[in-house]
Amino acid sequence: MILKVFSSEKSGSGRYLVLPAFILSLLVVAVPELWSLVLSFSRYEPGRNIFFIGFKNYSYVFSDPNFWNSFKNTAIFVVTSVVLQIVLALAFTVVLAKGFKAQKLWVTCVLLPYALSPVVTVNIWKYMIDYNVGIISYFFKEMGLLKSPWLSNPVTAMLAVILVYTWYSVPFSFVILYPARISIPTELYEAASIDGASHWKQFTKITMPLLTPTLIVVATFRLMISLRSFGEIWLLTKGGPFRSTETLAIYLYKQGFSYWNWGRAAAIGWIILLVTMLFSLPQIRTMYTQMFGSKKGV
């Protein structure tokens, strides 16, 4: 009798419980997305009618040097900050994995930036790198390294943006790397120590190989997320100076909300989406098999 109840699982009515989630995403995300696809093939400015113009938006975008500039900036920004994030998160993980008194306190410290809004983060950092009164600028000036305000120089502006975003994002990577690291049995490390392996050897031969799958997942994930970051950069530099920190997301925003050309902005949006998809597909596949691969004892 019990078996009968649960054999109806396959076609049970419980599966309709996924519907609210599905409908919510559908309406709020998918439908506007499709509409934006239509938009990307049209010319649409507020107050005027829409009309279909084929691929003109796309060809404009691809021939716009500003697009390629923002593409380049995005690449620099994303790759550099993701590498930094992961290196730092990995370093923190290794340091904290040693175990300290009040361990929880230190872990909490590392996680703190997670609680902040991009606005607050930018506030803090803007104050710290302010040319006149900022504490970071103070140190650099004392060392004779800083000649002009961080945000006025294209190179240092990009550095600043990368730095702020990295600071903000390290907790995300840490949250995934740290549990993975502490799930490695300590016996492995103990055995290696007994065999006379140095810390560095232990790191390269034990930690790194075992963490590599996780690292790949984290890297993919963070690449995806960094690609779409808007608030942090916008609030810091608005894409300046001279568009040197203008990423694709900001480029899109400007096309859509400064120039009010929504057809073009929609086209850019779809380009960003396609690029994102390139990174994400392997991840989607992995997560899908994880969700439905093995039911019991995952």
Partner 1 sequence: MLLVVVWSIFPIYYIVISAFKMPRNIFAYPPKIFPSEFTTVNFLELFKNWSSFPTALANSLIVTLAAVLLTVAVSLLAGFAYSRFSGKLVKNSAIFLLVIRMFPPIIISIPLYPVLNSMNKTVDPRAVLVLLYSAFEVAIMTWIFKTAFDRIPRELEEAALVDGCTQFQSFVRILIPLVAPTAVAVSILVGIYSWNEYIFAFLFTSSGSQTTPVLIAEMMGGLTGPSWGQVFAASVLQMIPMIFFLLIIQRFIVSGLMGGSLKG
Residues 1-60 that bind partner 1 (CB under 8 A): 2, 5-6, 9-12, 14-22, 24-30, 32-33, 35-36, 39, 46
Q: Does 111 bind partner 1 (CB under 8 A)?
A: yes
CA distance 52 to 259: 19
Cβ nearer to partner 1, comparing 25 with 204 = 25
Whose CA is closest to 40, among 256, 246, 257, 278?
256
For residues 161 and 233, the answer to whether their CB atoms sit within 8 Å is: yes
Cβ nearer to partner 1, comparing 69 with 123 = 123
Task: Name which position in 41, 77, 125, 189 contacts partner 1 (CB under 8 A).
Answer: 125
Strand partners, 52: 42
For residues 233 and 195, the answer to whether their CB atoms sit within 8 Å is: no
Scanning 56-64, 79-87, 192-200, 252-260 for contacts with partner 1 by CB under 8 A, the matching segment is 252-260
Local structure of residue 188 (DSSP, 8 states): H
CA distance 185 to 188: 6
Cβ nearer to partner 1, comparing 99 with 196 = 99
* Phi, psi (degrees; rounded to nearest 5) at 71: -65, -45
Residue 85 CA: distances (Å) to CA of 45, 174, 204, 277? 39, 9, 19, 22
Size of the site for partner 1 (CB under 8 A): 109
Task: Name residues contacting partner 1, limited to 137-196 (CB under 8 A).
Answer: 138, 167, 170, 175-176, 178-181, 183-184
Task: Name which position in 42, 78, 134, 233 contacts partner 1 (CB under 8 A).
Answer: 134
For residue 202, the minimal CB distance to partner 1 (Å) is 16
Scanning 57-65, 96-104, 186-194, 196-204 for contacts with partner 1 by CB under 8 A, the matching segment is 96-104
